[in-house]
Protein backbone atom coordinates (compact mmCIF):
# COMPACT_ATOMS: atom_id res chain seq x y z
CA UNK A 1 0.00 0.00 0.00
CA UNK A 2 1.43 3.43 0.82
CA UNK A 3 1.93 6.03 -1.87
CA UNK A 4 2.12 4.37 -5.25
CA UNK A 5 0.80 4.90 -8.75
CA UNK A 6 -1.43 1.79 -8.77
CA UNK A 7 -4.50 3.45 -7.26
CA UNK A 8 -5.43 6.96 -6.15
CA UNK A 9 -8.45 8.65 -4.60
CA UNK A 10 -9.99 9.61 -7.95
CA UNK A 11 -9.64 6.11 -9.36
CA UNK A 12 -11.06 4.54 -6.20
CA UNK A 13 -13.96 6.99 -6.23
CA UNK A 14 -14.69 6.36 -9.93
CA UNK A 15 -14.45 2.59 -9.39
CA UNK A 16 -16.82 2.68 -6.41
CA UNK A 17 -19.37 4.89 -8.15
CA UNK A 18 -19.27 2.80 -11.34
CA UNK A 19 -19.75 -0.37 -9.29
CA UNK A 20 -22.68 1.23 -7.51
CA UNK A 21 -24.60 2.24 -10.65
CA UNK A 22 -25.93 -1.23 -11.52
CA UNK A 23 -26.87 -2.20 -7.98
CA UNK A 24 -28.49 1.20 -7.41
CA UNK A 25 -30.85 0.59 -10.35
CA UNK A 26 -31.66 -2.93 -9.17
CA UNK A 27 -32.18 -1.83 -5.56
CA UNK A 28 -34.43 1.14 -6.42
CA UNK A 29 -36.54 -0.89 -8.84
CA UNK A 30 -36.74 -3.89 -6.52
CA UNK A 31 -37.72 -1.75 -3.57
CA UNK A 32 -40.47 0.15 -5.41
CA UNK A 33 -41.86 -2.93 -7.19
CA UNK A 34 -41.73 -4.99 -3.97
CA UNK A 35 -43.51 -2.20 -2.09
CA UNK A 36 -46.12 -1.96 -4.87
CA UNK A 37 -46.75 -5.72 -4.77
CA UNK A 38 -47.14 -5.68 -0.99
CA UNK A 39 -49.57 -2.75 -1.15
CA UNK A 40 -51.56 -4.51 -3.88
CA UNK A 41 -51.78 -7.68 -1.79
CA UNK A 42 -52.78 -5.71 1.30
CA UNK A 43 -55.38 -3.47 -0.40
CA UNK A 44 -56.42 -6.07 -3.04
CA UNK A 45 -55.89 -3.55 -5.85
CA UNK A 46 -53.65 -5.60 -8.17
CA UNK A 47 -52.04 -4.31 -10.45
CA UNK A 48 -52.47 -0.61 -9.58
CA UNK A 49 -49.60 -0.25 -7.07
CA UNK A 50 -47.40 -2.66 -9.02
CA UNK A 51 -47.56 -0.36 -12.06
CA UNK A 52 -47.11 2.67 -9.83
CA UNK A 53 -44.13 0.91 -8.22
CA UNK A 54 -42.53 0.28 -11.61
CA UNK A 55 -42.92 3.95 -12.54
CA UNK A 56 -41.62 5.21 -9.18
CA UNK A 57 -38.80 2.64 -9.25
CA UNK A 58 -37.67 3.76 -12.70
CA UNK A 59 -37.73 7.41 -11.63
CA UNK A 60 -35.90 6.59 -8.38
CA UNK A 61 -33.20 4.62 -10.21
CA UNK A 62 -32.77 7.49 -12.69
CA UNK A 63 -32.52 9.95 -9.79
CA UNK A 64 -29.99 7.74 -7.95
CA UNK A 65 -27.84 7.36 -11.07
CA UNK A 66 -27.98 11.11 -11.70
CA UNK A 67 -26.94 11.90 -8.13
CA UNK A 68 -24.11 9.34 -8.26
CA UNK A 69 -22.91 10.57 -11.67
CA UNK A 70 -22.67 14.12 -10.28
CA UNK A 71 -20.15 12.76 -7.77
CA UNK A 72 -17.81 11.31 -10.41
CA UNK A 73 -14.30 12.80 -10.14
CA UNK A 74 -14.05 16.18 -11.83
CA UNK A 75 -17.78 16.33 -12.55
CA UNK A 76 -18.46 19.13 -10.06
CA UNK A 77 -15.72 21.21 -11.66
CA UNK A 78 -17.16 20.54 -15.13
CA UNK A 79 -20.65 21.46 -13.91
CA UNK A 80 -19.36 24.72 -12.43
CA UNK A 81 -17.56 25.61 -15.68
CA UNK A 82 -20.69 24.78 -17.68
CA UNK A 83 -22.84 26.97 -15.39
CA UNK A 84 -20.37 29.86 -15.68
CA UNK A 85 -20.42 29.55 -19.49
CA UNK A 86 -24.23 29.68 -19.47
CA UNK A 87 -24.19 32.86 -17.37
Q: Which residues bind other proteins (CB under 8 A)?
A: 1-4, 7-10, 12-13, 15-17, 19-20, 23-24, 26-28, 30-32, 56-57, 59-61, 63-64, 67, 71, 73-74, 76-77
CB 64 within 8 A of CB 28: yes
Least spacing, CB of residue 41 vs other proteins, in Å: 19
CB 36 within 8 A of CB 51: yes
Least spacing, CB of residue 26 vs other proteins, in Å: 7
Amino acid sequence: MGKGPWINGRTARALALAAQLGTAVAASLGLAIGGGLLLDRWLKTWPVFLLLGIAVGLLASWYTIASLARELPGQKKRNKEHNLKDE
